[in-house]
Amino acid sequence: MPTKATITRLQVLALVFTLFVTMPHAWGEKDCYDEKDAFLQKCAWSIKRGLAYMPPHPICCRTIQKIDMTCVCGAIVPDEEETVDVRHAYFVSRDCHKPVPAGNKCGSWTVPGAPAHPLPPHP
């Protein structure tokens, strides 16, 4: 029969294990939201809903090179989509040479894959 001390040790071990499993996820999630805030601020003119797409400013691209755009794009919520054009967010990631991969979400929009049969070059 397990003693009270053994049960307490097992409970402490379970708690420590739970912290190791969940904390990195929580830290990563906070990083993602901090990165999203930086992206929304530094790239505002290129991603604004209702405006024609504007190529990103070098400051925007420097920001994108430092962040996880797949995470940032996926963290854009419906309320933000009222002011952020998620397709423009993808174009900015592409134009800054750090595109969000096909199949990932950018807000509510899914980044399309390459066509199965590419079109021939335009004459």
Q: Does 23 score more than 50 pLDDT?
A: no
What's the structural domain count of the chain? 1
* pTM of the complete model beyond 0.85: no
In a domain, 122, yes or no: no
For 34-101, the DSSP string reads HHHHHHHHHTHHHHBTTS---PPPHHHHHHHHTS-HHHHHHT--TTGGGTB-HHHHHHHHHHTT-PPP
Which residue would you say has higher pLDDT here, 32 or 119?
32
Query: Domain residues for 56?
Result: 29-110
Q: Classify 28 as helix, strand or coil.
A: helix
Q: What is the pLDDT of residue 119?
A: 55
In a domain, 117, yes or no: no
